[in-house]
Amino acid sequence: MYGNTHTEETKKIISDKRKEWHQNLSDEEREIISKKISEANKGKEGYWNGKTNDGHSQWMKENNPFKGKTHTDEVKRMLSEINSKPKTDEHKKNISLNSAQNKQCSINEVVYRSVAEAARQLDLSENTVRGRVKNKNFKDWYYE
């Protein structure tokens, strides 16, 4: 019993220290770390590469951490209440702005807060914008 408690406490301490360290990084340091990780992973086959969703679905059925558990009636009611409220345009905008998926991009010296915003304003598909931003032939299209 003591060993498990100690392990959980240790995990929490390590997690808190990592969060603190990460929060104190500058944007430049985060970018450097991100590039190093990206370079290290280039050429590696992804875990799910070549596997079907059927395999993943089966794996989730067997290994889902919520398996055998249910929400209490109080939690179900709270979730229902939260999800039934209509989202305001400002709320949707805040969700979009704060999404980890958003990357600012610069296109012909105009900075857009996301690929989606650039696509809307330029009347292009997001895939087209994303492709051009990644393409070295479009020198004035890049991520910030």
Write down the residue that tokens 């010296």 correspond to.
109
State pTM to two decimals. 0.34
Which residues does 42 contact at the CB level (< 8 Å), separation at least 6? none
Give per-residue pLDDT as tens, 120-138. 888 988 888 888 888 888 8
Tokens of 81: 């209440």
Tokens of 134: 């990644």
Task: Give the span between the Cα atoms of 96 and 120, in whole angstroms.
Answer: 14
pLDDT, position 49: 67
Which residues does 79 contact at the CB level (< 8 Å), separation at least 6? 71
Give per-residue pLDDT as tens, 18-41. 888 888 888 888 888 888 888 888
